[in-house]
Amino acid sequence: MREGPKAEKRPTTLAAHGDERVDEWYWLRDREDPEVRALLEAENAFTKQALAHTEDLQARLFDEIVARIQETDESVPARKGEWWYYARTEEGLQYPIACRRQGGPEAGAEHTLLDQNELAEGHDFCDVANDEISPDAGLLAYGVDLDGGERFSLRFRDLATGADLDDRVEDTYYGLAWAADNRTVFYTRPDESMRPYQLWRHVIGTPAVDDVLVFQEDDERFFLGVSASRSEEFVFLLLESKVTSEVWYLPASDPSGSFAVVQPREQGVEYAVEHHEESFLITTNVDGAENFKLMRAPVASPGRSSWVEVVGHRPEVKLDHVTVFKDWLVLWERAEGVRGIRVMEAASGQSHVIEQTEPVYAVGTDANLEYDSDTLRFVYQSMVTPRTVFDYDMRARTRVLLKEQPVLGGYDRSQYETVRLWATADDGEQIPMSVVYKRGVVRDGSSPCLLYGYGSYEHSIDPTFSSVRLSLLDRGFVYALAHVRGGGEMGRRWYEDGKLLCKRNTFTDFVACAQELVSAGWTSPSRLVARGGSAGGLLMGAVMNMAPGAFGAVVAEVPFVDCLTTILDEDLPLTVLEWEEWGNPVESAEVYQYMKSYSPYDNVGPLDYPAVLATAGLNDPRVSYWEPAKWVQRLRERAAGSRPVLLKVELGAGHMGPSGRYDAWRDEAFVYAFVLDALGIRSGNSDLGIRSGNPIRHQDPVNSAVAASDNDIRGNGG
């Protein structure tokens, strides 16, 4: 029996496929019940009291984190037309300020477009989405969420005066596109289950009640989205399930016209569309192209019968997406777990790869605002190299370093080393890990280690740089990322082998990574911490049940731990479209039994679990607060041993946690303090655990890669 608030048991029997499960805390789903709020507040009070002895450590960690960050900073200005756009931060302010200058990156007076600190005044949470400037650069559309529920109030600002217009549209979702008339905006709305399913049209200066419903998607498996082409000549309506796509298009010059379909949906066929001159470019998996290929079709007849191959399918290379310029196509590719950039001349089809300085690295697109340009701006980083922005001349094949993110306090990258390791899974598959540590770590099993994992939705958790992480590395920690199946790090097959009835591979891969770190002397079970969030929190709960002795502590953030009950409930947000990721346990007894076999909440038993810190967001629309709340209750009730089980609930935020940067750093200091305390590392001083001796040399240094995913529903990608 473990200490902590104890909620009353009110058993509810849940029946499906002839099987019954008893849920003692099902009633915690009723957020209107005052006893629910009282329980969550009691959990916060208990967690605060349980970690009160670490408050000085938390403060020191927070000070360390902030001391490395250039608090007053500015992004590299990006040009569009006569304006140069950038964002800046100011010391002491939580949120960024969006700005622009006219005529040059440092020319003329600064024009403030949007100061998010002003929007956040008087609120504990503030998130901005859909901030898009009209084609003539005169108006700014932006959405504001003040509670973390991800339903945005859409507003419009006259950039000449800085004043907001009277126009305001409530209850909107992610996704917005301007038409060419600079007066018409397309936006999306979610249904009661938080699925974006409607496309609406608003005309500036007219009441929101007069807005026109343009399209409604009634198939609950599909998300609806909207975007503008990079050429700004078309508006795209996007309809996507987990395995099927459909795209509609509308000339931006005809905002009141009708959308036309590129290619009607076919189950299992995915495609994405961009506009290029007289053609549409289509990235697709059609005809068995598992890792996708690039096709071209005329705008006048874009259907599948007109598709002509531009870049064929390559089994060893995953084509993630394409950035289109007037004269160039930029292909973002993934091979051997590393994301790279291939530049293709549109006219000739000749291509080249942008070579990078480290064998494994992280690249991602930055602000490429102009369609007619020979310059690609990209971001490069690794686990030892801070975020670096380059301009690359695609014609001359030369690059210019624009900015490397400062790390204050004398950061010396030569004092840190990063390697790629491989673990052997139960079925013989080789699972990559990316590892970073401070030189001097000795592989005798004594080092503390944090192992992070995710493994869902084809989301790649690539190794990127973090100045915050230095607070662990300087205390002798080894930091490892487990690139388990279910993610996208190794191509589409990697994802397919970690979903549906192959989902257990995600969990056994992670355990294999933990065992490899121990057997190779990097750490020991009592010194190993596992961390994951959302769908990665499901991973945490599953591996705790499978191998509780493999870890000394677990951090499970907004964890999807009651997955079977949630995926059975068609009334909950996002459930139906999730069936193509997890399976449909409503219709299939096989899926039901398979999910039940790994569901963390359903498999809590009399095991000696590691210390646990779980988090939740009261307004979370993706993983409801009651999942971690119920899980914590059951762990305390059933588990053997006496190590703590703690729950920290954000009562004014949602899935992503605190919105302000100082709040986020303070939250990370709290997590680090829990980790250090759980491993018995009592001092707040850096450089604990680093020993003298020759550093370990490896032939395959690992760096990092930037990953992006639009398909992460129950997850935030860590």
Catalytic positions: 534, 620, 655
Q: Which stretches of 383-501 are DSSP H helices?
A: 470-473, 492-496
> What is d(CA 490, CA 337) in angstroms, rounded to the nearest whole number?
5
For 117, residues 6+ apart whose C-beta sits below 8 A from its C-beta are 93, 94, 95, 97
Query: Which phi and psi angles does 274 have, rounded to 5°?
Result: -130, 155
Long-range contacts of 131-138 (CB under 8 A, 24+ apart): 131/98, 132/176, 132/177, 132/178, 132/228, 133/159, 133/178, 134/178, 134/182, 135/178, 135/180, 135/182, 135/232, 135/252, 136/182, 137/80, 137/81, 137/82, 137/83, 138/182
Contact 438, 469 (CB under 8 A): no
What value, to the nearest 5°, has the Cα angle with vertex 525 and ends 510 and 2? 95
Question: Given the structure tokens 């590129």, which residue do they identify?
Answer: 262
> What is d(CA 73, CA 91) in angstroms, rounded to the nearest whole number?
8
Strand spans (E) along 176-300: 176-178, 184-190, 196-203, 212-216, 223-228, 234-240, 245-251, 260-261, 271-276, 279-284, 293-298
> What is d(CA 430, CA 705) in angstroms, rounded to the nearest whole number?
19
Distances (CA, A) of 339 to 141, 311, 462: 33, 17, 9
In this structure, how many other beta carbons lie within 10 angstroms of the beta carbon of residue 563?
A: 27
State both tokens at 343.
Answer: 């530049």
Question: Given the structure tokens 């303090």, which residue do they identify?
Answer: 673
Give the CA-trace dihedral at 160, 165, 170, 175, to 10 degrees: -30
Query: Which phi and psi angles does 22 have, rounded to 5°?
Result: -105, 120
In this structure, how many other beta carbons lie within 10 angstroms of the beta carbon of residue 548?
A: 18
**Residue type (1 letter), 312:** G
Sheet holding 279-284, edge to edge: 271-276, 279-284, 293-298, 308-311
Distance from the Cα of residue 202 to its chain's centroid: 30
Question: Given the structure tokens 């703690």, which residue do they identify?
Answer: 646
What value, to the nearest 5°, has the Cα angle with vertex 577 and ends 288 and 560? 110
Q: Comparing C-alpha atoms, which of 396, 364, 517 is closest to residue 450? A: 517
> What is d(CA 387, CA 363) in angstroms, rounded to the nearest whole number?
9
In the three-class reduction of DSSP (H, G, I as helix; E, B as strand; rest coil), residue 255 is classed as coil
Contact 474, 407 (CB under 8 A): no
Q: Comparing C-alpha atoms, which of 492, 417, 446, 376 is closest to residue 680? A: 446
3-state secondary structure 124-168: CCCEEEEEEECCCCCEEEEEEECCCCCCEEEEEEECCCCEEEEEE
**Residue type (1 letter), 539:** L
The DSSP secondary-structure symbol of 487 reads: B
State both tokens at 451.
Answer: 């192992």
Strand spans (E) along 669-716: none
Distances (CA, A) of 533 to 8, 657, 716: 27, 11, 7
Question: Given the structure tokens 């790994």, which residue do they identify?
Answer: 598
> What is d(CA 54, CA 619) in angstroms, rounded to the nearest whole number?
28
